[in-house]
């Protein structure tokens, strides 16, 4: 079968021939790959960064945001049958720490986890993939068209879920963590795929959503944001001070820019008792100058929380499937606009390197659903 591989560290990507995987254990599920999304991580890998080949190998199959259709199952598999749609998770636990042993490899203490398509394990940019049922999340047929967004949505779902639970734990007047977001002022910094999917989840939870980015008002990301009831602000036209004046103090900041200066500036916007979750990972760069005393004074005096969040557990993948289903029902037109580009596997070079203002999510299309 064909697979898209990279030689880590070289910046070289190939359409290679790989042996087709087969069911080798009673809990295995084999998927025919339908679509695999491309994100900044894949682009970093294709530029020579980030990727680690499996032990003893020189190259790595890339791709971690997948959607497939079940073609075969091991004898002990009960949750899916051939024809069902599903998504395999990315991370596999270290097998040692308390988090991984508790099925929470997203909170791994040792860092010795592997990630399919990123760190020490082949990914999903291939015609077929096999893995254990415990890493599979079923996707309803009705939302298979956007099922490839499950992984990026799971990252947003985790960050939002953690924030709501922290708020409910410290603000004792809330019974249901899931209700904390309702009516709150939320700011999303960076409306790329994860930011935009966070906006979708927050709108579903009844938050008042403002998205901040530097793309043109008339481009597709602000358009989708407005279609789901959010408001867009252009970062070059409004600074943090203006946001506070125009929107008011923010109860929940969801950061997805990965720009360190911006990550600190956003703290100025926080309301009393607010929570701020950062999901962007800045590249090493020049030192950032911040008004440290003022920021820490504000944080303490206003009971504010700043949180970092990465990856997702199976619980968040299931939440992601639910968010996508609810959003597809409520805003079918907007949700259909999120996958903007579809490439054939042989066109991987364009998929990895073309990167325009009209882009939200780029996918490689491996096959069509039955």
Q: Return the number of the residue (123 or 240) whose C-beta is nearest Zn ion.
A: 123
Q: Which residues pair with 38 in a beta bridge?
A: 362
How far, in Å, CA of 145 to CA of 342, rounded?
A: 12
- Using CB under 5 A, which of the segments 4-12, 34-42, 168-176, 191-199 binds Zn ion? 34-42
Cβ neighbours of 31 (radius 10 Å): 25
Look at residue 206 and give its three-state secondary structure. Answer: coil
Check residue 320 for interaction with Zn ion (CB under 5 A): no
Q: Return the number of the residue (114 or 304) whose C-beta is nearest Zn ion.
A: 114
Q: Return the number of the residue (99 or 130) whose C-beta is nearest Zn ion.
A: 99
Q: Kindly write out the interface string for residues 128-147 of this chain, putting x where it contacts Zn ion by CB under 5 A and - elsewhere.
A: --------------------
Nearest residue to 40 (alpha-carbon basis) of 307, 365, 359? 359
Q: How far is the CB of 323 from Zn ion (least distance, A)?
A: 17
Q: Return the number of the residue (100 or 198) whose C-beta is nearest Zn ion.
A: 100
Q: Which residues pair with 5 in a beta bridge?
A: 14, 61
Residue from the set 3, 39, 306, 324 that interacts with Zn ion by CB under 5 A: 39
Residues of span 72-111 touching Zn ion by CB under 5 A: 94, 97, 100, 108, 110
Nearest residue to 325 (alpha-carbon basis) of 204, 174, 222, 183? 204
Q: Kindly write out the interface string for residues 56-75 of this chain, putting x where it contacts Zn ion by CB under 5 A and - elsewhere.
A: ---------x----------
Q: How far is the CB of 349 from Zn ion (least distance, A)?
A: 19
Q: Return the number of the residue (73 or 279) whose C-beta is nearest Zn ion.
A: 279
Q: How far is the CB of 337 from Zn ion (least distance, A)?
A: 19
Residues of span 109-128 touching Zn ion by CB under 5 A: 110
Q: Return the number of the residue (50 or 184) whose C-beta is nearest Zn ion.
A: 50
Q: How far is the CB of 110 from Zn ion (least distance, A)?
A: 5
DSSP secondary structure letter of residue 173? T
Q: Return the number of the residue (65 or 131) whose C-beta is nearest Zn ion.
A: 65
E-only strand ranges, the chain: 2-7, 12-17, 28-38, 60-61, 65-73, 85-88, 91-92, 114-116, 120-121, 128-132, 136-139, 185-189, 208-213, 231-234, 250-255, 270-278, 305-308, 339-343, 361-365
Token pair recorded at residue 266: 């956003």
DSSP secondary structure letter of residue 105? G
Positions that interact with Zn ion (CB under 5 A): 39, 41, 65, 94, 97, 100, 108, 110
């Amino acid at each position: 079968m064909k697979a898209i591989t990279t030689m880590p560290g070289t910046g070289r990507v190939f359409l290679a021939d790989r042996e087709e995987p087969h069911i080798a254990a009673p809990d295995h599920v084999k998927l025919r790959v339908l679509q695999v999304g491309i994100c900044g991580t894949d682009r970093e890998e294709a530029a020579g960064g980030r990727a680690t080949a499996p032990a003893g190998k020189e190259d790595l199959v890339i791709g971690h945001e997948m959607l497939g259709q079940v073609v075969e199952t091991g004898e002990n598999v009960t949750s899916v049958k051939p024809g069902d749609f599903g998504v395999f998770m990315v991370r596999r636990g270290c097998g040692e720490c308390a988090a991984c042993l508790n099925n929470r490899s997203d909170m791994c203490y040792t860092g010795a986890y592997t990630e399919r398509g990123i760190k020490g394990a082949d990914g999903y940019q291939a015609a077929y993939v096999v893995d254990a049922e415990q890493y599979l999340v079923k996707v309803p047929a009705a939302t298979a068209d956007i099922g490839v967004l499950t992984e990026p949505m799971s990252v947003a779902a985790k960050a939002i879920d953690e924030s709501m639970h922290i708020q409910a734990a410290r603000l004792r007047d809330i019974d249901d963590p899931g209700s904390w977001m309702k009516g709150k002022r939320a700011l999303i910094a960076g409306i790329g795929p994860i930011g935009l999917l966070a906006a979708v989840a927050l709108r579903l939870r009844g938050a008042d959503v403002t998205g901040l980015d530097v793309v043109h008002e008339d481009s597709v990301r602000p358009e989708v944001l407005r279609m789901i009831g959010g408001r867009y602000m252009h970062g070059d036209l409004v600074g943090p001070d203006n946001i506070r004046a125009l929107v008011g103090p923010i109860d929940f900041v969801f950061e997805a820019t990965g720009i360190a200066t911006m990550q600190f500036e956003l703290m100025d916007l926080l309301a009393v008792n607010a929570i701020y979750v950062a999901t962007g990972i800045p590249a090493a760069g020049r030192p950032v100058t911040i008004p440290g005393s003022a920021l820490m004074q504000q944080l303490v005096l206003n009971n504010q929380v700043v949180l970092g969040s990465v990856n997702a557990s199976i619980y968040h993948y299931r939440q992601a499937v639910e968010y996508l289903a609810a959003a597809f029902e409520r805003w079918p037109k907007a949700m259909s606009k999120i996958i903007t580009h579809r490439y054939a596997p042989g066109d991987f070079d364009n998929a990895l390197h073309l990167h325009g203002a009209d882009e939200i999510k780029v996918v490689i299309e491996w096959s069509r659903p039955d």
